[in-house]
């Protein structure tokens, strides 16, 4: 099961991070094709709100930074 998937095109650098409510990073990827499956260290995370941060650099050098919430419900 995929909980967070982004569709990204035309980037030369990419980083996605997911944090729990205490600010602990529970997921990080530099691959735009990776997906977060809702686990941390192989164990499903508890229900709750998680923060995602995405940073990308386009082919022409422009930077984009986005952040938001993803809610995990069972």
Where does the pLDDT of residue 19 fall: very low under 50, low under 70, confident under 90, or very high at 90 and above?
Answer: very high
In this predicted model, which residue has the larger pLDDT, 12 or 15?
Answer: 15
DSSP three-state, residue 69: strand
* Across 52-74, average pLDDT: 90
Residue 9 scores a pLDDT above 70: no
Where does the pLDDT of residue 34 fall: very low under 50, low under 70, confident under 90, or very high at 90 and above?
Answer: confident
* Across 22-49, average pLDDT: 94
The pLDDT value recorded for residue 58 is 84
**Residue-range domain boundaries for the chain:** 11-72
Domain 11-72 part of CATH 2.60.40.1240? no
């Amino acid at each position: 099961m995929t909980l967070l998937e982004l569709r990204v095109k035309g980037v030369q650098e990419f980083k996605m991070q997911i944090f729990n409510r205490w600010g602990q990073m529970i997921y990080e990827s530099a691959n735009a094709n990776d997906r977060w499956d809702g686990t941390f260290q192989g164990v499903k995370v508890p229900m709750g709100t998680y923060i995602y941060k995405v940073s990308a650099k386009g082919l022409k050098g422009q930077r984009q930074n986005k952040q938001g919430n993803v809610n995990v419900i069972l």
